């Protein structure tokens, strides 16, 4: 069709829209160019959405997905052909290899750093250098609900013929109510007769209802393959204040990081008060089994995890992080010990070994006061996901946890003195990338 046959106004409008379409193509091309060249380090990029709606899981990662992660810190992201944030792995376990699956949330998925810099990859390299014939496979997927880890284990972990699973969850994820919230992924819902059943309320979401039709598939294809479409989609979900860049849009977490710390004289008391307040709901849940519904969900989750692992002949170690570490002489110290005793009773009773992860990490880095520097990047250092120092420290902690779990037969004789790669040997106290 030629614009010259139309009235001048319609013709001008058509040409204007054509120019606009041209702009879309040029900007889309520009964004792609930035992603595939080193320009991604400094120029604006659009964060990838590495998954799609899934009727059983809520939101499942897409095998082969790739992109540049931009939240907190920039890193290249590449999912392998199994949909894991890991290097390529054979589905069939190599003979003589001890396979360990790392389950967890965004902290373990570690999108903020390169795959080689994740604590799982570092620990695998160090242990292999020590002669252990093992694979540490990262099965983690972002999301705060522990139940996602169980689903992930069943869908992605067991087909890999794992020998051991190490799960990692925040202590708060058990008290936040996420185990009972099926709006985004499967969860335990109250059936009314005092029983819990797995609920799939998320299937009512618009994206789920259209997951299998042409519109849904086209939408997913567009946001996964066009950075421009993805940008427009992500922008459309933001509140107006964020779009306009108003100061009120600044997140609470950012404000808290930028806030002044309490004076040194007050620091211990504030830390003690904070730890006491944070421990309270955890103690209610694990020791007193209150609130009832929350406890029923937590117990059901542990039952299901223990049963599932037993059925598949896999041992489970569960590392619970962020159980507050009170300063010395704080009365909450004994409360914490009580909590751990209660938790250990519940986990061990279901055949799961409990690890007090924050305590192990604190021991590695020289005390609880050192833990904040393992998190966050640049001006936001002190809070957030693990930075490079954090991954090195977690790798050391993971190795400490793993050594008694991995049978001696997987370490070849005479290789225990093998040296670690220089980059991994950097003491955790050394400066990380700003």
Partner 1 sequence: MVLFRGGWPAAVDEAAAPPWEVVAGVVGLFALHWIEFRLQQPGVLGVMRRAEGPVSRGFLSGVALLLILIPVTNVNPFIYFRF
The answer to the question of residue 33 lying near partner 1 (CB under 8 A) is no
Token reading at 109: 């998925």
Min CB(120)–partner 1 separation in Å: 14
Q: Say if residues 31 and 42 touch (Cβ distance below 8 Å).
A: no
Of the candidate spans 80-88, 103-111, 226-234, 293-301, the one that interacts with partner 1 by CB under 8 A turns out to be 226-234
Near partner 1 by CB under 8 A: residue from 7, 19, 95, 192? 19
The answer to the question of residue 247 lying near partner 1 (CB under 8 A) is no
Instruction: Indicate the SS3 state at residue 378.
Output: helix
The answer to the question of residue 47 lying near partner 1 (CB under 8 A) is yes
- d(Cα 184, Cα 144) in Å, to the nearest integer? 11
Rounded (10°) CA dihedral 265, 268, 271, 276: -130
The answer to the question of residue 194 lying near partner 1 (CB under 8 A) is no
- d(Cα 360, Cα 74) in Å, to the nearest integer? 28
Decide whether 113 or 323 has the Cβ nearer to partner 1: 113
Per-residue x/- track, 308-347, partner 1 (CB under 8 A): ----------------------------------------
Near partner 1 by CB under 8 A: residue from 29, 33, 43, 198? 43
Decide whether 71 or 191 has the Cβ nearer to partner 1: 71
Cα–Cα distance list, 132 to 126, 392, 410 (Å): 9, 19, 5
The answer to the question of residue 161 lying near partner 1 (CB under 8 A) is no
Of the candidate spans 128-136, 169-177, 230-238, 294-302, the one that interacts with partner 1 by CB under 8 A turns out to be 230-238
The answer to the question of residue 258 lying near partner 1 (CB under 8 A) is no
The answer to the question of residue 403 lying near partner 1 (CB under 8 A) is no
Near partner 1 by CB under 8 A: residue from 6, 49, 129, 232? 232
Of the candidate spans 15-23, 145-153, 195-203, 288-296, the one that interacts with partner 1 by CB under 8 A turns out to be 15-23
Residue ranges of E strands in 265-347: 315-321
The answer to the question of residue 66 lying near partner 1 (CB under 8 A) is no
Near partner 1 by CB under 8 A: residue from 75, 103, 107, 278? 75
Q: How many residues bind partner 1 (CB under 8 A)?
A: 52
Q: Which of 111, 115, 106, 105 is nearest to 48 (CA)?
A: 111
Q: Which residues contact 44 (CB under 8 A, 6 or more apart)?
A: 31, 34
Min CB(27)–partner 1 separation in Å: 4
Decide whether 113 or 314 has the Cβ nearer to partner 1: 113
The answer to the question of residue 378 lying near partner 1 (CB under 8 A) is yes
State yes or no: cis peptide before 291, omega within 30 of 0.
yes
Decide whether 15 or 403 has the Cβ nearer to partner 1: 15
For 86-201, where are the alpha helices, taking DSSP H only? 106-109, 119-129, 146-152, 172-175
Min CB(44)–partner 1 separation in Å: 5
> How does 303-339 read in b/e, with b if 16+ C-beta sit within 10 Å?
ebbbebbeeeebbbbbbbbbbbbbbeebebbebbeeb
The answer to the question of residue 428 lying near partner 1 (CB under 8 A) is no
Q: Which of 369, 389, 381, 396 is nearest to 432 (CA)?
A: 389
Min CB(240)–partner 1 separation in Å: 13
The answer to the question of residue 42 lying near partner 1 (CB under 8 A) is yes
Cα–Cα distance list, 241 to 14, 47, 105, 247, 255 (Å): 33, 20, 29, 8, 16
- d(Cα 390, Cα 428) in Å, to the nearest integer? 8
- d(Cα 403, Cα 30) in Å, to the nearest integer? 48
Near partner 1 by CB under 8 A: residue from 300, 373, 380, 420? 380
Token reading at 49: 């959405």
Min CB(79)–partner 1 separation in Å: 17
Give the angle subtended at the CA of 103 by the CAs of 97 and 106, to the nearest 5°. 135
Q: Say if residues 434 and 377 touch (Cβ distance below 8 Å).
A: yes
The answer to the question of residue 241 lying near partner 1 (CB under 8 A) is no
Near partner 1 by CB under 8 A: residue from 26, 33, 221, 267? 26
The answer to the question of residue 235 lying near partner 1 (CB under 8 A) is yes
Q: Which residues contact 364 (CB under 8 A, 6 or more apart)?
A: 393, 396, 397, 400, 428
Near partner 1 by CB under 8 A: residue from 377, 406, 411, 428? 377
Q: Say if residues 82 and 358 touch (Cβ distance below 8 Å).
A: no
Decide whether 257 or 293 has the Cβ nearer to partner 1: 257
Q: Which residues bind partner 1 (CB under 8 A)?
A: 11-24, 26-27, 31, 38-39, 41-47, 70-72, 74-76, 113-114, 116-117, 228, 231-232, 234-235, 245, 377-380, 388, 423, 431-434
């Amino acid at each position: 069709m030629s614009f010259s046959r139309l009235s001048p106004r319609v013709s001008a409008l058509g040409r204007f829209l054509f120019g606009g379409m041209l702009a879309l193509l040029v900007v889309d091309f520009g964004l792609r160019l930035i992603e595939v060249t080193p320009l991604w380090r400094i120029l604006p990029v659009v964060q990838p959405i590495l998954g799609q709606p899934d009727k059983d899981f809520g939101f499942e990662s897409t095998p082969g997905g790739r992109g540049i992660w931009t939240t907190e810190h920039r890193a290249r992201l590449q999912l392998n052909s199994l949909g894991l944030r890991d290097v390529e792995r054979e589905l069939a376990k190599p003979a003589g290899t001890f396979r360990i699956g790392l389950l967890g949330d965004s902290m373990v998925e570690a999108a903020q750093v390169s795959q080689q810099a994740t604590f799982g990859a570092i620990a695998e390299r160090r242990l292999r250098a020590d002669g252990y014939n093992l694979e540490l496979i990262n099965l983690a997927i972002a999301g705060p609900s522990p139940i996602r880890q169980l689903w992930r284990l069943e869908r992605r972990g067991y087909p890999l013929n794992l020998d051991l699973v190490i799960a990692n969850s925040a202590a708060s994820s058990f008290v936040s109510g996420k185990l009972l919230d099926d709006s985004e992924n499967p969860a335990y819902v109250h059936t009314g007769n005092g029983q819990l059943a797995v609920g799939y309320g998320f299937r009512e979401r618009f994206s789920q209802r259209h997951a299998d039709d042409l519109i849904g598939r086209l939408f997913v294809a567009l946001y996964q393959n066009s950075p421009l479409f993805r940008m427009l989609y992500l922008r459309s979900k933001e509140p107006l204040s964020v779009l306009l860049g108003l100061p009120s849009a600044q997140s609470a977490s950012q404000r808290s990081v930028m806030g002044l710390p309490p004076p040194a004289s007050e620091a211990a008391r504030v830390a003690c008060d904070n730890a006491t307040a944070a421990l309270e709901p955890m103690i209610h849940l694990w020791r007193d089994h209150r609130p009832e519904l929350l406890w029923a969900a937590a117990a059901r989750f542990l039952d299901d995890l223990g049963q599932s692992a037993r059925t598949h002949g896999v041992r489970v170690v569960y590392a619970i992080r962020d159980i507050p570490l009170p300063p010395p002489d704080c009365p909450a110290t004994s409360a914490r010990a009580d909590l751990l005793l209660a938790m250990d009773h519940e986990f061990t009773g279901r055949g799961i070994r409990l690890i007090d992860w924050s305590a192990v990490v604190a021991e590695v880095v020289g005390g609880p006061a050192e833990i904040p520097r393992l998190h966050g990047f640049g001006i936001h250092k002190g809070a957030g996901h693990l930075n490079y120092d954090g991954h090195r420290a977690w790798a050391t902690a993971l190795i400490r946890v793993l050594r008694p779990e991995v049978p001696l037969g997987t370490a070849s004789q005479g290789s225990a003195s093998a040296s670690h790669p220089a980059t991994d040997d950097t003491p955790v106290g050394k400066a990380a990338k700003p």
